[in-house]
Structure 1
Amino acid sequence: MTDEQSRAAESVANEAHTAIEVSRGFASWLSANRASLAFTSYQTGQLFLVGVLPNGQVSFNQQNFQRAMGVHHQAGRLYLGSLFQVWRLENMLRPGEVGNAAFDSVLVPRNAQTTGDIDIHELSVDRDGRVVFVNTKYSCLATLSLTHSFRPIWKPTFISKLAPEDRCHLNGLAMLNGVPKYATAVSRSDIVNGWRERRSEGGVLIDIETDAIVTDRLSMPHSPRAWGDRVWALDSGRGYLITVDPASGAKEDIAFCPGFVRGLTFHNGHAIATVSKPRNGTFAGLALEDALRERDGEAWCGVLVIDVRAGGIVEWIRLQGAITELFDVAVMPDVVCPMSIGAASPEIRTSITLDEAEPTAAGR
């Protein structure tokens, strides 16, 4: 990739005419916490990687992945769910190398597992290295299969059968000690698209291990997380980052987020989440609509950094223009300035690296 092409990828105004702005302290926050971010927009099919350039400016690297959804980071690796595939991107740099004099991680798509359009939402990797994802269309958790579209590994007890009907809108996954522990769904509906009539209430947090409903007092919940000694989630229909007591189901509001909040990760005492603007009246009938009106505010599209102790937003990214909806976010610790190469980009054909293990003679 040439320097000119690289600079184009870092531009804060993309070809879809979306302006990106950041809070004054955002670059300093990334640097102080030695971290970068990855977030996705399924609306425009883009993966964004955010870091800090050597000159101190914020870098936005954007690549196209059709209907980019769940994103999960491991050291040197990124997993991404898309329209009909799960992608695995690998950092092609060797220790000490820098790409284009600026990037300490250059992520290249090395594998795409085809699942078909099963509406993959959040995903993660278990302690055995197995990719686990939310198969929303079939109302289950699933993993990849070498032969078939997917292999189901769990479904809520209220789902009577696996069918491509998006019955309850299962959407979120929390891992604990390397195994799936919690899931979120918009309702306990067991009919095709039944969740759409239950958006304002009846959202559930489910203990995957016991099949118990931890709480059914949520509004369009997303992104459960077991972090620290607490269970966290996004009460998206209300616009809140919350904690939930796994014993009683009681919830506590931590911070209000100005938009439809989905995608959640944690780093150094901060929660990081994405917010979206409404689409086709999706806020209608939700408490979030009234909450924004009471605060005399408009919904955002962007990324929020929340101090969980104070319950306030300390830094942010805001997108204004063509991109109005985001889905997921992942933190990339110890990565200062990442970039990726798109699967359909011209650079993919010439970005070639060699595994330098010594070759052996045939038969040895």
Structure 2
Amino acid sequence: MSEEQQPPATPAPEEAAQAAEGKTNITVSRGMADWLISNKTSFAFTSYQTGQLFLVGITADNKVSFNQQNFQRAMGVCYTPGRLYLGSLFQVWRLENMLMPGQIGNKQFDMVLIPRNAQTVGDVDVHEVGIDAGGHVLFVNTKYSCLAQLDLVHSFKPIWKPPFISKLVGEDRCHLNGLAMDGGQPRFVTAVSRSDTVNGWRERRHEGGVLIEVETGRIVTDQLSMPHSPRVHDGKVYVLDSGRGQLVRVDPESGEKTDIAFCPGFLRGLSIHNGHAIVTISKPRDGSFSGLALDGEMEKRDSEPWCGVLVINLANGDIAEWVRLDGHIVELFDVAAMPGVRCPMSIGPNTIEIRNTHSFNAAALDAPAEEAKAEPAKQSEAAAK
């Protein structure tokens, strides 16, 4: 982007946002702004229910900013510096930061993410997304019960399946859903069950959820209920025991699990930053968490489920800060911390702004000429040797 250009921006209100089919009020805990500032991060979260990507940051006057864009059935989200990957209904999106160093978008945003690529994979129920050491995009292909890689010709390239899955077929047999990357490699996955029949997992929601080690196919534990979002951090494995409403830590060798924090909703999505877990919680679709221990636990605690994002202190399990959504949006999916970014925004694929927002690197025109000048000098150096 040339120096004089400034990208457009969408409004970023602190406490309210307009959802696709109705209003949703967004409120934040009193300390959320301070937490984002002191921990030098922002974060992204998704709602597959309404098909939205939310970016949460801090404005110049230290207020919480919410930027939202529509991506049909927004699911797994993965952040790497300057880039965001997003799974959707039948595509995996790549969003790039269009700002050059030192630029600010609309006098407010230090990152402006614009869709640069949408890889069509078909409706394979993309869940979580990861990037391996070679830069390949991996995703949980829930419909085909496997881990997959993007392919230039085909819908996907299967790279791994659980040992108990006998055939790659679009039947969502075990509801494979979560992916933990570690050292640039897929390390662990979660599945609701070890079922090997079409939709077999639906009868196993209350127990038998598994954490699987990818390299060996070993079941680390089967003592989970509807697990989601495994993550490796400081040599430990964290996972959402969603049917119980618990964030848990699992010993990768023994499979022993330790409860860290109870959350008042159905857990999906986990990101760990600076000693804190950022998780999303959702309300139940039918008014209750039928057949899950979570239902009884909510009643025991005399509480009602809600929808939002929680920041949990891993040292003591306390909920440090929160974002709450009340209204039309009742279900969220994934969340990703964006360290070093203060106030991000994105431009949606179906907006007027995306048609009229252009960027380029003006220095690229000078590069060939500079290289041509340098070539004789290189040749002289080579002759001297």
The amino acid of 2:16's aligned partner reads: V
Asked whether the 8 Å contact 2:7–2:105 carries over to 1, the reply is no
The verdict on how the C-alpha distance between 1:101 and 1:194 changes in structure 2, with shifts beyond 3 A counting, is same
Q: Give the 5 Å matches for 1:194-209.
A: 194-209=200-215
Residue 126 (structure 2) aligns with: 120
The amino acid of 2:52's aligned partner reads: Q
Measure how far apart 1:281 and its partner are: 5.4
1:117-167 CA-to-partner distances (Å, cap 9, x unmatched) read: 000000110000000100000000000000000000000000000000000
Distance (Å, rounded) in 2 between the aligned partners of 1:83 and 1:4: 27
Give the alignment partner of residue 18 of structure 2, picking from 1, 14, 29: 14
Asked whether the 8 Å contact 1:9–1:62 carries over to 2, the reply is no
Distance (Å, rounded) in 2 between the aligned partners of 1:171 and 1:336: 30
Residue 135 (structure 2) aligns with: 129
Residue 326 (structure 2) aligns with: 320
Give the alignment partner of residue 350 of structure 1, picking from 352, 356, 361: 356
Asked whether the 8 Å contact 1:10–1:61 carries over to 2, the reply is no
Asked whether the 8 Å contact 1:171–1:184 carries over to 2, the reply is yes
Residue 274 (structure 1) aligns with: 280
SS in 2 for 1:7: coil
The verdict on how the C-alpha distance between 1:2 and 1:19 changes in structure 2, with shifts beyond 3 A counting, is farther
SS in 1 for 2:295: helix
The verdict on how the C-alpha distance between 1:10 and 1:66 changes in structure 2, with shifts beyond 3 A counting, is farther
Q: Gapped runs of 5+ residues in structure 2? A: 373-385
Asked whether the 8 Å contact 1:127–1:178 carries over to 2, the reply is yes
* Aligned residue pairs, count: 362
Q: Gapped runs of 5+ residues in structure 1? A: none
The amino acid of 2:66's aligned partner reads: F
1:77 matched to 2:83? The reply is yes
SS in 2 for 1:13: strand
Residue 307 (structure 2) aligns with: 301
Distance (Å, rounded) in 2 between the aligned partners of 1:98 and 1:156: 46
Residue 261 (structure 1) aligns with: 267
Distance (Å, rounded) in 2 between the aligned partners of 1:162 and 1:301: 34
Measure how far apart 1:5 and its partner are: 6.1
Distance (Å, rounded) in 2 between the aligned partners of 1:113 and 1:237: 33
Identity of aligned residues (%): 65
1:171-222 CA-to-partner distances (Å, cap 9, x unmatched) read: 0000111100100000000000000000000000000011000001100000
Distance (Å, rounded) in 2 between the aligned partners of 1:263 and 1:52: 22
Residue 174 (structure 1) aligns with: 180
Residue 94 (structure 1) aligns with: 100
The amino acid of 2:365's aligned partner reads: E
The amino acid of 2:206's aligned partner reads: S
Higher deviation after alignment, 277-286 or 130-139? 277-286
Asked whether the 8 Å contact 2:8–2:106 carries over to 1, the reply is no
Q: Over alpha carbons, which structure has the higher Rg?
A: 2
TM-score relative to the length of structure 1 = 0.97
The amino acid of 1:254's aligned partner reads: I
Measure how far apart 1:282 and its partner are: 6.2
Residue 161 (structure 1) aligns with: 167
